[in-house]
Amino acid sequence: MNSLKTVVKFEILRSLKKKSFWVSALLLPILLVGYIVFAGAMGSNVEGALKAENENADAKLAILDEAGLMKSELTENWVKVSEKNIGIKDVRDGDLDAFVFIAQDFTENPKIEVFANNKSLFSDYSAVISGVLVGSALADLEASEQIILTHTYATDTTTFVDGEEGSLLGKMVVPLVALGLFYVLVILFSNRLTTSTIEEKENRITEMLLTAIPAKTLILGKIFSLIALGVLQTFIIIVPLILVYAFGRGTAIMGMDLGAILANVEINPLTILTSFVLLAASYVLFVGLCVLVGSLVPTAKEVSSYSSIIMILTILPVFSISSFLAAMPDALVYVLSYFPVSAPVALMMRSAFGTLPWYELLIGTVVIIISSIVITRFAIRVFQYGAMEFTSKISLRKMLTRK
């Protein structure tokens, strides 16, 4: 146990002492956050386009216009509701996609209430409703009402997800943070994981080490240290995010109202727990895969081609993002969700996009945990077997048939 602790401590400290560790640990998250803020500020048009695209004509909309503001031709296909509570109930039950309520006292209290089912990312129907309102305003309303309607009215939108009040975008934040963290860990640690595994072999330190400690202790020490460094990297990203959440309300960044964004963020302990269990299991699986590759080959040069395959398989779901954004997952989504190497990103994306039922999250997480245990144990075995193989790749056939 002491030897294991010594290996873990040595591996962690030598990483922390390196400038390159801190440069990559701090720089990449800063660059990513910078890019997200920049893209957010530049991307309002894209969001508008997506809204328009998603709020199609098939949407089942309803209205109760007590003030009589809306031009009837523009809402002729809308369901007319007699009572506000009935409209809200129908939205909650999923019978309506959205319900607009305009109170009788609109001129004194210019507020429009919208209740919408948040089925996909951009389905709060605000673009459709806004279009109808503006169209109505410009038609035959009195000038004072036009001014109120086009310039000063407020929209109070209540959205529902699966019958419960909430916003899909707000629910996305925690799973999306977990996905972002995993992505950062994959980028930053894949090279470190493989080269760390191969270092002793390549530098011919193995023989001196193996008279003092068993190969299993050495590789376990490396695995634990890499997991600890992953946890540290996670904290480096999470702590600023928590600080922004705690103190960022009322702040604007590049024109984006941070307070408004943060107000929608749903902090659900169960979502946090499941997201981070999934993240932890996924990282251990990734560590196991990289250690396996590092154990199979004798030099760092040969590692790169194998580790690229792992990287591509890991981020494969990103290339099929359109399938993942759809409300109804197709076969490809299911395949990628249960194939161990692609499962982490696939499940995290589905969790973020609100298309992952709890039982699938549970099954997927169990698949990843079992895979991470099996692969890590196998990687340890390969490392032990191949610790003295300095010149050629390990033959798995020979290893598995060895007595």
Partner 1 sequence: MSKKIVEIRHFRMRFGEKEIIRDLSFDVEEREIFGFLGGNGSGKTTTIRALLGMYEPSGGELLIHGKKFVPGSEPVGYLPEERGLYRKESVIDVMRYFGMLKGLENPEEWSLKFLERVGLSDKINEKIEQLSGGQQQKIQLGITIMNNPKLLVLDEPTKGFDPINRKLLMEIIDEQHEAGATIILITHYMDEVEKLCDRALLLKDGVARASGTIAAIREKFGGKSLNEIFLEVYGGENE
The one segment of 6-14, 128-136, 190-198, 299-307 that binds partner 1 by CB under 8 A: 6-14
113, β-bridge pairs: 101, 156
CA distance 383 to 21: 25
Does position 1 interact with partner 1 (CB under 8 A)? The reply is no
Q: Which one among 41, 205, 242, 263 touches partner 1, defined by CB under 8 A?
A: 205
Q: Which stretch binds partner 1 (CB under 8 A): 169-177, 253-261, 266-274, 384-392?
A: 384-392
The residue written with tokens 């194998």 in the block is 306
Nearer to partner 1, 360 or 389 (CB): 389
Looking up tokens 């490396």 gives 222
Q: What angle do CA 76, 81, 84 make, to 5 degrees?
A: 135
List binders of partner 1 among 133-152 (CB under 8 A).
none
Measured from the Cβ of residue 300, the count of other Cβ atoms closer than 10 Å reads 16
Dist. CA 174–CA 348, nearest whole Å: 10
Per-residue tokens: 223: 């695995």
**The one among 203, 269, 331, 359 contacting partner 1 by CB under 8 A:** 203
Nearer to partner 1, 115 or 189 (CB): 189
Q: Among 211, 270, 331, 401, which residue sits at the site for partner 1 (rule: CB under 8 A)?
A: 211
Q: How far apart are CA 215 and CA 382, in angstroms?
A: 10
Asked if 175 and 365 count as a contact pair (C-beta separation under 8 A), the reply is no
Asked if 12 touches partner 1 (CB under 8 A), the answer is: no
Residue 199 Cβ vs partner 1, minimum distance, rounded to whole Å: 8
Should residue 208 be labelled a site residue for partner 1 when binding is judged by CB under 8 A?
yes
Alpha-carbon distances of 69 from 103, 130, 382, rounded to whole Å: 10, 13, 74
Of residues 227 through 266, those in contact with partner 1 by CB under 8 A are none
Given the complex with partner 1, which of 209 and 241 has the nearer CB atom? 209
**Structure tokens of 354?**
């609100």
Residue 44 vs 299, nearer CB to partner 1: 299
Binding mask 14-53 for partner 1 (x = CB under 8 A): x---x-----------------------------------
The yes or no reply on residue 322 touching partner 1 (CB under 8 A) is no
Dihedral of the alpha carbons of 246, 250, 255, 258, in degrees to the nearest 10: 30
Show the site string, 182-201: x = touches partner 1 by CB under 8 A, - = not: -----------------x--
- Picking from 14, 29, 16, 33, the residue whose alpha carbon sits closest to that of residue 236 is 29
Q: Identify the bridge partners of residue 323 per DSSP, sorted by sequence position.
A: none
Binding region for partner 1 (CB under 8 A) out of 1-9, 66-74, 158-166, 326-334: 1-9
Minimal distance in Å, beta carbon 3 to partner 1? 6
Minimal distance, residue 394 CB to partner 1, in Å: 13
Tokens 């503006």, located at residue? 134
Distance CA(3)–CA(217), nearest Å, equals 7
Choose between 199 and 302: whose C-beta lies nearer to partner 1. Answer: 199
Based on CB atoms, which residue is closest to partner 1, 1 or 270? 1
3-state secondary structure at position 69: coil
Cα dihedral sign, 205-208-212-215: positive
Burial code (b: 16+ CB inside 10 Å, e: under 16) for 79-97 equals: eebeeeeebbebbbeeebb
Does position 209 interact with partner 1 (CB under 8 A)? The reply is yes
Q: Which position among 7, 172, 177, 184 is part of the footprint of partner 1 (CB under 8 A)?
A: 7
Amino acid (one-letter) located at 29: P
Query: Is residue 390 within the footprint of partner 1 (CB under 8 A)?
Result: yes
By CB under 8 A, residue 380 contacts partner 1:
no
What element of type H or E holds 160? strand 154-161
Instruction: Give the residue with the Cβ less far from partner 1, 179 or 223.
Output: 223
Q: Which of 6, 150, 304, 320 binds partner 1 (CB under 8 A)?
A: 6
From 47, 66, 105, 207, residue interacting with partner 1 (rule: CB under 8 A): 207
Among 121, 213, 228, 399, binds partner 1 (CB under 8 A): 213
Size of the site for partner 1 (CB under 8 A): 24
Nearest to 89 by CA among 169, 167, 165, 166: 165
- Contact residues toward partner 1 (CB under 8 A) are 2-3, 6-7, 10, 14, 18, 199, 203-214, 387-388, 390, 402
